[in-house]
Chains A and B, each alone.
Chain A
Amino acid sequence: MAVLTAAAVALPGWARGNVVVEGPDEDAFTLLVRAGELLRKTQPSNARARAEVRKVRVISSLAGDERSALFDAWGLPSVELVAYPDSTQGVVQSLSEALDEEVGEHDGPSWLLSAQLASPRGTGVDDPPKQSAAAAALAFGHGALAEGQGPNAPSPRTWVTGEGSTPAGPVRPPELRGFRGAASAPVSILLTLVAAAASSEGGTTGSWVHATGERTHQRTFLDGSKVPLQGYPVPEERVWFQVPEEAWRARAGAPLAAVSQGAYLSRETYLSTLPARWRLEGERCAQCSAFSLPPVGRCHRCGTRDSLRRGRLPHRGKVESATVIHPGAQPTEFDWHQETYGRYGVALVRFPDGDLLTFQLTDQQPAVSALGADVELELRRLYPQEGSWRYGLKAVVLPPASEAKATPHPRGA
């Protein structure tokens, strides 16, 4: 029997910053990636708990190659991944299985993730902007971890993190804008669980699982309290992927000839370079200090084949130069972006060790070019091609340090 050992909530940029972002480019995939990253940061410092993730459960409708690409995004070795239907049944089944699993003292955690995305834009006064999107990630491990045993065991409160957390409290309760009334959506259930865990009050934990149903399980949660886990009414399925998802899907399905002829990066090439593109994994040359992406065993600047060291660039840097691409100046791959949202920014980003890379700017309103600004890189949608989305890192401009000190930025730590 496993217990919940850590939890994390990921919110899209438009929900974190309390603004309507012009070009929302986050979806179930990017939020799952982010939730997993946050979960990893949240893992207890206890060495056993930091063991390699043993198994991943995902409640989502992601395609197969997108599910396996999650590991590339997290930089984790590929382990068993179990997909559950994007429904309440999927939540019940996945939770039950995660909790029912026999877990040894030295076993690494298993993860359970779910993400939901709704239209970030409304259609008018009667339909105000919806900003309901989130992902939740839960880690399950050996029971002893949750009972505060061992010299380094942290208090449960610190085990939960999430976007929107403030210095005062570990997590903002998940009555997220737009999620009201959507308690039946899988992610809402997980979010409730996360909030309950954050409060570390068994009573709260029980409040959501106390619905009636035929299946009853008894579970041990963070504080060690025993809580009955029961089935609950299967609600009407909510379709969260609506506009502009449908339009985007249609666009992504456009014939290859219409979107790409020469400057064409095949899906195979794209998938084969994910560690370099998403995690900036490459090789540092000891001769000339250049960083080569992807790593091919040869420095791209000086050609040396020895004295190369594997490494990663941090996901932070400064804007070296920037531009705003106005409608008409975009490559055809970005037509959908311009048609849907208009202009966007692009920046050359200088990394702390002097390396320079090119990224689209995101979460900007309006798009501006801000030389010298600090940016953080996040995995986002790039453009649709051949029926699916290509993802890549984009740069989010961080508020100036002074401003961040005055009012805690919703991005948190």
Chain B
Amino acid sequence: MTVSSNRVAVVGAGQTAFGVLPHAPRSLLRQALLEAVASVDKGISPSDVGEGYLATLGFGGWQIGNPATLLAEEMGRPGIPVTHVENACASGSTGLRAAYHALRAGSCDVAVVAGLEKMTDDPSPRRRFWLGVSGETEWERLAGLTFAGVYALLAERYLSERKLTPEVLGAVAVKNHAHGALNPHAHLRKPITLEKHRDAPPVADPLKLYDCCPVSDGAAAVLLAREEVARRFTDSPIWIDGSGGGSDFLALQDRPSLTSLAASRFAADQAFAHAPFPREKVQFAEVHDCFTIAELLALEDTGLLPKGEAPSATMEGRTRLGGALPINPSGGLKAKGHPLGATGVGQVCEIYHQLRGEAGPRQVPGAERALAHNVGGSGATAMVHVFSR
């Protein structure tokens, strides 16, 4: 289905570096918005923006209630309708989807989507407390699981069913660390080796330290415009060609499969049902790799690779920069960092710059079509967006 009459474009995108940052949440948000505004080729004024969506968990509780109004304030546009969106780690892409629909519905001509998280200033016990709150409480958390443990259960089953060793997880980590080393915005910018991955301290068997994304601060923002007005802001817009979402049972124990996330499958199917090109045409993707196993799941759940091919594609280097289907050229959550609410918006920043040929040393040559995949919790929610230039 072609929806060219009602398309939505990304006309600007910016983010802070992800990492351990000294800034307060509000200034992180301000920096990301300034970057996004500065990235608009022909300029944009606050008065152009008609609506805003802020994705944040309010990690640590700094502003759990009513944070979206900060977006209007920092955008310089107090008074516009703003909405706080929260789908755990998929909050950013959920905000994107909400803005996409608002624009297609004609609610406004330009919308801003921002994601924000300040995580590193919480004392460790409190941080561990917060890291679990998006999981299922009554059975999973109270059986002693945080997300590392939940993804470990997925990984253990995955490796066992496919008769694989944790080396395949290491291959994901090594690749994404290598990509992150090329990204000035990445939290972890040091390449690692398979040996370093293998010898790292265990976290939740079979996951070790380098299977886990870091705890990061950061903010990201994108400016979306309806097709009718998009060229007022740029001659090189990036189009959102499809938006899909999905959900699943909160707890693993209620799901039919432990080696596939149904929410990701639903989201991808929905996104491609609207996209003007099939998934085989996607040239690179930013996928949700909070733990290395998650990237392997994502590759098959989104249909970017046929069922069963994610491990071999990874081991053979097909998902590396320079391979046939680069995955997470930004470094992914694994190396770029994972400031929860900002993550999904940050993925769009990467895709925006890649599709415009602005990604520097990590540029995917000739990239025209891309996919963003963002998961909430252990797969209870997921969003997939498809882009082209």
Contacts and interface: CB of A to CB of B under 8 A. Distances in A.
A102 B143 CA distance: 46
Contact of A360 (B143, B154, B258): B143
Contacts of B105: none
Interface in A128-184: none
A262 interface: yes
Contact of A335 (B125, B137, B253): B125
Interface string A357-395: 111100000000101000000000011000000101000
Contacts, number: 121
Contact of A323 (B129, B133, B138, B205): B205
A208 interface: no
B142 A321 contact: no
Interface residues of A, number: 40
Contacts of A383: 142
Given A323-B156, A382-B142, A329 B258 contact: no
A323 B291 CA distance: 14
A325 B138 contact: no
Contact of A325 (B145, B251, B252, B254): B145
Nearest to B136: A358
Contact of B251 (A263, A358, A392): A358
Nearest to B208: A326
A331 B144 contact: yes
B143 A358 contact: yes
A263 B203 contact: no
B258 A320 contact: yes
Interface in B220-277: 251-254, 258
Q: Is the interface of A mostly helix, strand, loop or mixed?
A: mixed
B205 A369 contact: yes
A68 interface: no
Interface in B99-125: 125
A328 B204 CA distance: 9
A322 B156 contact: yes
A356 interface: yes
A271 to B, nearest CB: 13
A331 B153 contact: no
A322 B254 contact: no
Given A262-B133, A371-B160, A324 B205 contact: yes
B201 interface: yes
A260 interface: yes
B128 A332 contact: yes
Contacts of A325: 144-146, 148-149, 152, 204
A337 B144 contact: yes
Given A265-B142, A359-B143, A332 B148 contact: no
B145 A346 contact: yes
A238 interface: no
A328 B160 CA distance: 25
A265 B135 CA distance: 13
Contacts of A335: 125
Nearest to A322: B156
B149 A392 contact: no
Given A321-B156, A335-B125, A329 B204 contact: yes
**Size bracket, chain B contacts:** 35 or more
B143 A330 contact: no
A261 B125 CA distance: 12
A204 to B, nearest CB: 45
Contacts of B153: 321-323, 346, 348
Residue of B126, B130, B156, B258 ringed by the most chain A CB atoms within 10 A: B156
A348 B252 contact: yes
B129 to A, nearest CB: 4
Given A326-B201, A358-B253, A360-B144, A331 B128 contact: yes
A332 B144 CA distance: 9
A334 interface: yes
A261 B204 CA distance: 24
B143 A346 contact: yes
Nearest to B158: A321
B189 interface: no
Contacts of B251: 358
Contacts of A300: 254
Given A346-B153, A348-B252, A358-B252, A323 B204 contact: yes
B42 interface: no
Residue of A301, A320, A348 ringed by the most chain B CB atoms within 10 A: A348
A348 B150 CA distance: 10
B190 interface: no
Interface string A259-301: 0111111000000010000000000000000000000000011
A84 interface: no
Contacts of A326: 201-205
A358 B145 contact: yes
B146 A330 contact: yes
A333 interface: yes
A111 interface: no
A344 interface: yes
Contacts of A346: 143-145, 149, 153
A39 B152 CA distance: 39
B253 A333 contact: no
Interface in A301-355: 301, 320-326, 328-335, 337, 344, 346, 348
B141 interface: yes
18 contacts: A260-B129, A261-B129, A261-B130, A301-B254, A323-B145, A325-B146, A329-B146, A329-B203, A331-B128, A332-B132, A335-B125, A348-B258, A356-B252, A358-B143, A359-B143, A371-B156, A371-B157, A371-B160
Task: Return the 4 tightest CB-CB contacts between A and B, nearest first.
Answer: A323-B152, A321-B157, A324-B205, A332-B129
Given A328-B128, A333-B141, A358-B140, 17 more contacts: A258-B125, A260-B129, A261-B126, A263-B129, A264-B137, A265-B137, A265-B138, A301-B254, A320-B258, A323-B205, A324-B202, A326-B204, A330-B144, A331-B146, A334-B144, A346-B153, A348-B253
